[in-house]
Copies of this chain bind each other. A is one copy, B any other.
Amino acid sequence: MYVINYKERGETPVELAGSKNMTVRWLIGLNTGAKTYAMRHFEIKPGGIIPLHTHEEEHEIFVLEGEAAVLGGEEGMVAKKDDVVFVPSNLSHGYDNTKGKKSFCFICCIPLLPTSDTQ
């Protein structure tokens, strides 16, 4: 068992093509105890975006602060502080904070599949 502040985990840019002003911290991953799913912290700064992309891993998300447009869902879909977002496997999705004035921060869990790019 351990307790750490999330900022103790290294912050790295998200490298997906078309992403901008977005970072990830692997809070609990394969190297830090995770067995079947991982927990990550993402920040999309004002002006930032992660464009539509698709993968096998479903997402379970909790929004910590800010607000962003959710791409790939219903027209006008928005996620904000205290919202829960579920993205099924293989569904195209993205988050757009290009019009935001504050960071959009969220916890995002994914399963650790044999094909997952993880830490």
Pair B28/A86 contact, Cβ less than 8 Å: yes
Majority SS at the chain A contact face: strand
Pair A3/B70 contact, Cβ less than 8 Å: yes
Pair A62/B5 contact, Cβ less than 8 Å: no
Pair B36/A84 contact, Cβ less than 8 Å: no
Taking each of A3, A38, A85, which has the highest tally of chain B beta carbons within 10 Å of its own beta carbon? A3
Pair B62/A3 contact, Cβ less than 8 Å: no
Determine how many copies of this chain the complex contains. Answer: 2
For chain A residues 80-119, which have a beta carbon within 8 Å of chain B?
A: 82-89, 91, 93, 107, 109, 111
* Other A-B pairs, 9, CB within 8 Å; known A7-B82, A27-B84: A3-B85, A6-B82, A9-B84, A27-B62, A28-B60, A34-B86, A37-B37, A37-B109, A41-B62
> Which chain A residues have a beta carbon within 8 Å of chain B's beta carbons?
1-7, 9, 27-28, 32-39, 41, 58, 60, 62, 64, 70, 72-73, 77-79, 82-89, 91, 93, 107, 109, 111
